[in-house]
Structure 1
Amino acid sequence: MRRVTVKTPGTCGEYIQGWFEDNPCLVSCPIDRYSTIIIKEGPGNCKSLKPKTAKMVAEICRRYEIARREIDHLHFSMETEIPLEKGMASSTADIAGMAAGLSHFFDLRLTPGEIGALCVSIEPSDNLMFPKLNLFNHINGKILKSFKGSIESEILIIDFHGGIDTLSFNESQDDYTKKDLESFAEIVYQFEQGINEKNLKYVGEACTRSAFLNQGRLQKPYLELLTAMSQNYGGLGTIIGHSGTVIGIMYQEKDFQGNEFLKDLRKYIPVTAYADIYQNHLIPGGIKVTIERN
């Protein structure tokens, strides 16, 4: 009996997001908060899956000619640590994880790029399935630029109340001005420079610029205040859910005055404004799969 376990990271939104060379695009910001899926032989329960995840199952069956009776003999278990509708890639983590799990169960040998293409066929998706950073067209799945390096540091995430429908948000994002396009090209260059030089300060500055560029599309009331506080207490930059409600402060533990930051946060932002505060790590992307055979 086979048992496939899949762990897919969520995100604190995106390091950067905008339009580049006539393409909508993003670089996801993976964190150590996971969606977990277990696939094993047993009483079939596909009908109980979330609608988007069920769509992924159906799409893989269609594309790779897997008989429906094969799926009817599989039992799926799903649980997640990723808050929903916050811009933390909860949907992408679920559907990408399902694609990776079925790939291993049926030996389809899907690449991260193929999983990304499957995900965007269902909805605009983050690129957390890739183990290395890239600039990703979240509508058609095309990789616009690959980056040589990774980002690993700490992040403090403020989960503000409310929720965003990612699909509706992305349908409205075609109104970038020439100035916006020029600004985002500079952001991509600065982000890439930071990655190449292993300079987290440059990376953080690029993320902050992208966050403020997004204010014209989805206003975050406390972004300016939190960015100023981050700068005052040694943070590296502000990372947001461009289509969500979360704001994260990127930092290195040795340089960040975390207690003072939190005191000011609680002083200047009403506790009724946010649902929770999370402490996480920024990690490389990629989906982890383990297979057991009894």
Structure 2
Amino acid sequence: MALTAWARCPGTCGEWVQGAQSGVPFLVDCPIDRYAEAVVEMGKDDGIWLVPREKEKVRKALLLMREERSFSGGGILRFRRELPTGKGMASSTADIVSACAAVAAASGETVSGRSLARWAFGIEPSDSVMFPGLTEINHIRGSYHRTLGAAVPAGFLALDWGGEVDTLRFNARADLYGHYRKYEFTIGKALALVREGIRGRDLEKMAAGSTLSAACNLEVNPKPWFGQFKAWVRSQGGLGLVTAHSGTLIAGVFPPDYALDGLLAEAKERFRPVFAETFRARDGGVEYAFAHCGQAVSSSEG
């Protein structure tokens, strides 16, 4: 019987905060209840994995993983669920993390968040969604990560007006580090608010920090509807905004018990986005399951 495995990794609604501290780039992701889900079926023991053609980053990450772990298995990998690309929802990172975790599970291995991060950063700047909870990370090199605590319950109303941002090109911009230096003090205030909010389970503080960070980001990633959307969100009882700093998505932050479905229709009518959806906050961290000899096993790795 072929051994099959499944893994999923959450995407993000952008970042609570992103910038630099003492010249070192960092971000704090905003994980949500949307996922990349990878399914694998073990085949020949030849080390070859058949991966969807458009998932070249995943293929490269699996090669890094095989070199480090000496996996000899091979088979077929497909994605059961995917995240929109180029929007700032951590689609590439979630693809890589879910694929590597599924292959490891099918090979009888477990992998840590640290290992998953190493393979993701071996391909490109990445998010921190492979780690449990909310994590501050150097998103360019992955040189450090710091767990800040569990996700604070929240609702998000996210809009997008089209287009895509390439992560590699964005992070290679010649003006990016100058931008980080210019706003380092303000980003420091934003980070302090987000950290305090996580510690105190205070969503209002987190939203104040994320709104500061989102406003700074407009210099390098303009969002023409920012001001009008922020005013409307606050008029509807929202607490602020969270943005995809290297993407096109922006979202209103709302208390967790807020009924967002009615607001979603109004937002579509008022702002005419090409994409509109509601999300809920959740912790980061990969989940996986595998079946062998008729048994299924589930787990979650940090």
TM-score > 0.5, shorter chain as reference: yes
2:70: which partner in 1?
Answer: 65
User: What is the CA–CA distance in structure 2 between the aligned matches of 1:257 and 1:85, rounded to whole Å?
Assistant: 25
One-letter amino acid of the structure 1 residue matched with residue 168 of structure 2: L
* Aligned length in residues: 286
Shift of 1:224: 1.1
1:46 to 41, 46, 50: 50
Alignment of 1:1-294 (within 5 A): 1-42=2-43, 46=50, 48-49=52-53, 50-67=55-72, 70-71=73-74, 74-172=75-173, 173-176=176-179, 178-252=181-255, 254=257, 259=262, 262-263=265-266, 266-267=269-270, 269=271, 271=272, 274-294=273-293
Deviations 1:8-58 (A, max 9, x none): 111111111111232111111111111111111237652544110100111
What per-residue deviation string (whole Å, max 9, x for no partner) do you get for residues 164-197 of structure 1?
1111001112223644111111111111111111
Structure 2 unaligned segments of length 5 or more: list them. 294-302
1:64 partner letter: R
Q: Deviations over 1:193-240 (max 9, x none)?
A: 111111100000101111001011110111111111111111122111
The change in CA–CA distance for 1:167 and 1:178 in structure 2 (over 3 A counts) is: closer
Could you give the per-residue CA deviations for residues 146-165 of structure 1, whole angstroms, max 9, x where no partner exists?
A: 31332221111112211111
Which segment drifts farther, 230-239 or 145-154?
145-154
Q: What amino acid maps onto 1:46 in structure 2?
A: L
Q: Structure 1 residues 125 and 177, CA, compared in 2 at 3 Å: closer, same or farther? A: closer
Residue ranges of structure 1 left out of the alignment (5+ in a row): none
**1: CA distance, partners of 2:145 / 2:63:** 28
Q: What SS class does the counterpart of residue 128 from structure 1 fall into?
A: coil
| Maintained 8 Å contact 1:103/1:109 | yes
SS at match of 1:39: strand
Relative to structure 1, the CA distance from residue 103 to residue 211 in structure 2 (aligned partners, 3 Å threshold; closer, same or farther) is same
Q: Tell me the distance in 2 between the aligned counterparts of 1:177 and 1:120.
A: 21
Which one is further off, 170-179 or 158-167?
Answer: 170-179
Check 1:145–1:220 CA distance in 2 against 1; reply closer, same or farther (3 A cut). Answer: same
CA 1:288 to 1:140, structure 2 compared with 1: closer, same or farther past 3 Å?
same
2:65 touches 2:100 (CA, 8 Å); kept in 1? yes
* Equivalent pair of 2:264/2:277 in contact (CA under 8 Å): no
Given the superposition, is the C-alpha separation of residues 258 and 109 from structure 1 closer, same or farther in structure 2, using an over 3 Å criterion? closer
Distance 1:177 1:86, change over 3 A: closer
CA distance in 2, matches of 1:47, 1:99: 12
* Matches of 1:34 and 1:264, distance apart in 2: 24
Q: CA deviation at 1:282?
A: 1.1
The one-letter code sitting in structure 1 at the alignment partner of 2:237 is G
TM-score, normalised with respect to structure 2: 0.88
Runs of 4 or more consecutive aligned structure 1 residues displaced over 4 Å after TM superposition: 253-258
Relative to structure 1, the CA distance from residue 261 to residue 34 in structure 2 (aligned partners, 3 Å threshold; closer, same or farther) is closer
Backbone CA RMSD of aligned residues? 2.0
Letter in 2 for 1:230: V
SS in structure 2 opposite 1:174?
helix
Mean CA deviation greater in 186-195 or 41-50: 41-50
Percentage of identical aligned residues: 27
Q: Distance in 2 between matches of 1:229 and 1:261?
A: 12
**Alignment partners' CA distance in 2, 1:261 and 1:38:** 32
